[in-house]
Structure 1
C-alpha cells in the first residue's frame, strides 16, 4: 500500500446537506418568470402601449420596456451568482453557469438596446442630432454618469465572458474581472431611481424595484460574504499536510474545528484561498477527493494554473479560507440502487470521494476511468482497495483519444460506436444512475453515449471539469 492510500471506509456525516426538494427548482423558475411578467405589467400600466404611436413614441416606449426587462434580468443574474444554497443544490453549478451566461448576455443586449432606443427616441422628440442627444443625456440627467460607468463595467464583464476571450484568460483573472458585474448593477441603481419614471410611477412599482434590489443585495451579502465569513471564523481550517500524487497532481489535507458540523457531502467542491502571500485573494474551485469524515478534508488538484500550482508548496499550518460547499454531484440525486461513474483525468476527484461514501451493494457500482496514459490514473491504489473491499468494478481506460470523432473512449475502440462499447462494458446500463466528471467535450460525449444506450436524462448527473 502506497503512502497516499487511504483506509477505505464509509465515514459518518453528522450534518449532511439538506436533501434536494424537487419543488425548489420549480419555485425558482416560476419566481423568475413571474418577475419578468410583472415588469411588463408595470410598463403596460404606465401607459407603455398607448405611447407606441409615432416614431418618437415607439422608440422611447420600447426603450423603456427593454430597460425594465434588462434591469430585472440583471438582478436575476446577481441572484444566480449569489450561491443561494437551495438554488445551487437544485440546479447544480453547470446549469447555473449556463443560465447565468444566458441571462447575462440577454440583459446586456437589452441594455444596449435600451440605450440606443431611448437616445433615438429623445433625439426624435427634440429634433436634435443623436450624438448631441447622447451627450445631453449623459451630462445633464441625474445619475447618468454613474450609469455610464456601470455600463462600461458590464461591457468588460460581457467581453471577457465570450468563450474565445475566456480561453485566453487565466481562471484567476477571469474570476476577478467577473466581480465587476456587482459594480455595474450598483452604479445603475441611482439612474433608475432618479430618472426612471417606471421605477417611481406608482407605489407598487417603487415597492417592487426597491424590494428586488434589496433581495439581490441581501442574497449577495448573506451567501457570498456573511456565510463564508461565519464558517471560516468557526471552522478555522489550516493545511495539515501536502502529498504529491504523481503526474503533477497534489493532495492537500486540511484540519479544523468541528468539521462534523460542516454540511458537506462527497462529490462537492469549495472555492479555496490559502494565505501564503501575493495572489491569495484569488479563489480556486477544488473538489473533495476523499469523503468527509468530520475530522479532516482532502482536496486534490493538478498543475493547470497559478492557483493549483501553488498547492504543492503550501507550508503546513497555512490558514485556508473557503466558500462552499457547492455542487449537486452527490448521492442525494440518485434514483436507483445501481450506479456507473465516468471520470476523465483530474475529474476522478469527486467520484473517488463518492465511491467511498455512497451506499451500494457489491457489484452495484462501476467506475470507468479515462486517462491518456497509465501514469495519469490517479488514486489507483485507493480505487483498487475500494474494488477489493466494497465490490466496485473499476475499468481503467488509458490511451490516446480518437482523432476522427468526439469519443470518451481511447482510440483502440474507434471502430465500434461508443454506446455499443458502453453496453458491453456495463450490461444493463439503462437502469443505472450515471455520474460524470471531466472536461466539457468529453462529458458531452459520455452523456450522448449514455442517452443512446437508453439511460434516461433524469438519471445522468454531471459536473464538467472547467470554467
Structure 2
C-alpha cells in the first residue's frame, strides 16, 4: 500500500454553465427540423410515395449519422455539458436509430424505383449499386456500418476484447465517409436545391472539422505541450497498480478530480491502443496519478512500466466531478476499482469535517486499496469510511450477498443521504443498483452523479 499523504486541495477549473447542455440539445433538434423542412421544400410531400419516403428516411439517417460523429468527437464544450456516460448512451441510441432508418431508406428507394420501372426489386437494387454514381462507395460504407452495429450489440460486445471492439468501432468513421457522398451525385435534395447543398456541406465540414480538431489536433497539441512521463509505479494491492506521472505545465491541463483520460504508454508494441483510466488522486501541481486493475490485455502491462516511459493522453473526459457541489453532506459509493475517481474527489470537494461518507464495496479485505490514504482522509478531514465486504448474492444488489435485500440499509449507513450529493462509481450492474437505492432513499436526480466502468 502507498504511504503517500493525500495532496492539499487546489483550485479546480471553472464550472460548466448549465445552458451549454440546453444549447446542444436545441441544436440537435433544429438540425432534424431543417432536414424535414428541406425535404418538404424539395417536393417531398407533393410527390409522396415510396421514393419520397426513402429520401426522407435517408436524409434523417444521414443527419443522425453526422450528429453521432459530433457526439463522440470529444468537443470540449459538449463533453463538459453532458459527460461521457450520457454521450455514450445517446451515441448508441442515435447509431441504432440511424442504422434502421438507413435500412428503411434502402428498402423504400429500391422498391420505389422498381415499381416505377416495373422491374424486379433485387435486380433494381443491383442496378442501383452498379450504375448510379457513388453507390459502390455507399455499399461499402453500409457494410462497415453493419459491422459496427453488430459488434455494438450488448451480447456481441461481451465476447470481444476492449481493444478489438475499439478498433472495429473506428470503422464507423470510414463507413460514414463512404456512405454519405452518393447523395452529392444522385440525391434529389442536393442536385435540385442550393440551400440543401449549403446545409449539408456545412454539416459535413463541421463534423469532419470537429474530428480533426478534437480527436487529433487538440490531443497532439496537449501531448506536445505537457510531455507526460512515468515517474513511479506502485503496487497498491492484488492486481492493482498505481502509475505516477509528471510533465510540463500540468497546472494548465483542465482536469478535475473524478475525470479520466485515454492513455497510451509508449513502452513497445501495442502502444497505439488507448485505454480509459481515471485519475486516482486530485490533480495537483506537476503530478498526476492513475490506478489500474489488471483485467488482461493492455491493463496487464501497466505493472511492468518503467520510470521514464513516455505517455500520450486524450482528455480529460467525464462529468463525475464536484463542479455543482458547494458544501453540505456528501456520500461516495464505490465498488472495486470504482474507488479511484472517488478517492480523487475526496481531495477536491470542499466538505467540512463529518460531512463526507465513503462506502467502499469489495469482495475481500485484501482487495481494499489505499488504506493509508483513506486513513489520512479520516484523520485529517473527518471522512467516515464504511467498508462492505463479501461476495455478490444471487440477486443484483449494491450490498454483499449476506446483506442483500435489507431495505433501508443505505439510510442506516448514511442517515443524511436524502439531502446529500451522491457520487457512485463501479461496474454497470452494481452502479445501477446503487443508484436505485439512492433514489429510493430520496436523493434528488440533480444530486446523483455516476460513472460506469463499462464500454
TM over 0.5: yes
Q: Give the aligned partner of residue 336 of structure 2.
A: 345
Q: Is 2:44 aligned against 1:32?
A: no
Structure 1 gap ranges (5+): 53-57
Q: Is the partner of 2:276 in helix, strand or coil?
A: strand
What are the residue-to-residue correspondences of 1:149-298 with 2, within 5 Å? 149-298=140-289
Contact 2:237 2:368 in 1 (8 A): no
User: Which whole-Å CA distance do the structure 2 matches of 1:335 and 1:457 have between them?
Assistant: 17
Report the Cα offset of residue 438 of structure 1: 0.4
User: Which whole-Å CA distance do the structure 2 matches of 1:331 and 1:245 have between them?
Assistant: 25
Q: Give the aligned partner of residue 444 of structure 2.
A: 456
User: Which whole-Å CA distance do the structure 1 matches of 2:137 and 2:194 have between them?
Assistant: 25
Q: Give the aligned partner of residue 44 of structure 2.
A: 48
Report the Cα offset of residue 335 of structure 1: 5.9
Change in Cα spacing, 1:192 to 1:305, as seen in structure 2 (3 Å) is: farther
Q: Is the partner of 1:434 in helix, strand or coil?
A: strand
User: Which whole-Å CA distance do the structure 2 matches of 1:200 and 1:345 have between them?
Assistant: 57
1:407 is matched with which residue: 379, 385, 397? 397
Report the Cα offset of residue 414 of structure 1: 3.0
Q: Give the aligned partner of residue 8 of structure 1.
A: 6
Q: Is the partner of 2:392 in helix, strand or coil?
A: coil
2:353 is matched with which residue: 362, 378, 382? 362
Contact 2:325 2:349 in 1 (8 A): no
User: Which whole-Å CA distance do the structure 1 matches of 2:191 and 2:377 have between them?
Assistant: 63
Q: Give the aligned partner of residue 55 of structure 1.
A: none
Q: Give the aligned partner of residue 453 of structure 2.
A: 465
Contact 2:329 2:416 in 1 (8 A): no
Q: Is the partner of 2:402 in helix, strand or coil?
A: helix
Report the Cα offset of residue 105 of structure 1: 0.3
User: Which whole-Å CA distance do the structure 2 matches of 1:377 and 1:260 have between them?
Assistant: 30
User: Which whole-Å CA distance do the structure 2 matches of 1:333 and 1:5 have between them?
Assistant: 31
User: Which whole-Å CA distance do the structure 2 matches of 1:153 and 1:186 have between them?
Assistant: 10
1:134 is matched with which residue: 115, 125, 129? 125
Report the Cα offset of residue 382 of structure 1: 0.9
Contact 1:261 1:294 in 2 (8 A): no
Deviations 1:298-344 (A, max 9, x none): 11010113111110111211110000000111110326522100000
Change in Cα spacing, 1:43 to 1:415, as seen in structure 2 (3 Å) is: closer
Report the Cα offset of residue 415 of structure 1: 5.0
User: Which whole-Å CA distance do the structure 1 matches of 2:373 and 2:308 have between them?
Assistant: 26
Q: What's the RMSD between the two structures over aligned residues?
A: 1.1
User: Which whole-Å CA distance do the structure 2 matches of 1:327 and 1:369 have between them?
Assistant: 21
TM-score by length of 2: 0.98
User: Which whole-Å CA distance do the structure 2 matches of 1:363 and 1:398 have between them?
Assistant: 23
Q: Give the aligned partner of residue 117 of structure 1.
A: 108
Contact 2:358 2:384 in 1 (8 A): yes
User: Which whole-Å CA distance do the structure 1 matches of 2:339 and 2:453 have between them?
Assistant: 10
Q: Is the partner of 2:195 in helix, strand or coil?
A: helix
Q: Give the aligned partner of residue 424 of structure 1.
A: 412
Contact 1:335 1:459 in 2 (8 A): no
Q: Give the aligned partner of residue 323 of structure 2.
A: 332
User: Which whole-Å CA distance do the structure 2 matches of 1:353 and 1:50 have between them?
Assistant: 60
Q: Is the partner of 1:32 in helix, strand or coil?
A: helix
Report the Cα offset of residue 276 of structure 1: 1.5
User: Which whole-Å CA distance do the structure 1 matches of 2:9 and 2:227 have between them?
Assistant: 21
User: Which whole-Å CA distance do the structure 2 matches of 1:335 and 1:159 have between them?
Assistant: 44
Change in Cα spacing, 1:422 to 1:237, as seen in structure 2 (3 Å) is: same
Report the Cα offset of residue 192 of structure 1: 1.2
Change in Cα spacing, 1:415 to 1:107, as seen in structure 2 (3 Å) is: closer
User: Which whole-Å CA distance do the structure 2 matches of 1:264 and 1:21 have between them?
Assistant: 17
Q: Is the partner of 1:60 in helix, strand or coil?
A: helix
TM-score by length of 1: 0.96
Q: Is the partner of 2:47 in helix, strand or coil?
A: helix
Q: How many residues align?
A: 455
Report the Cα offset of residue 454 of structure 1: 0.6
Structure 2 gap ranges (5+): none
User: Which whole-Å CA distance do the structure 2 matches of 1:187 and 1:72 have between them?
Assistant: 15
User: Which whole-Å CA distance do the structure 1 matches of 2:279 and 2:103 have between them?
Assistant: 41
Deviations 1:135-193 (A, max 9, x none): 11111111111111111111111011000000011111111111111101111232011
Q: Is the partner of 2:307 in helix, strand or coil?
A: coil
User: Which whole-Å CA distance do the structure 1 matches of 2:218 and 2:192 have between them?
Assistant: 36
User: Which whole-Å CA distance do the structure 2 matches of 1:17 and 1:119 have between them?
Assistant: 53
Report the Cα offset of residue 411 of structure 1: 2.4
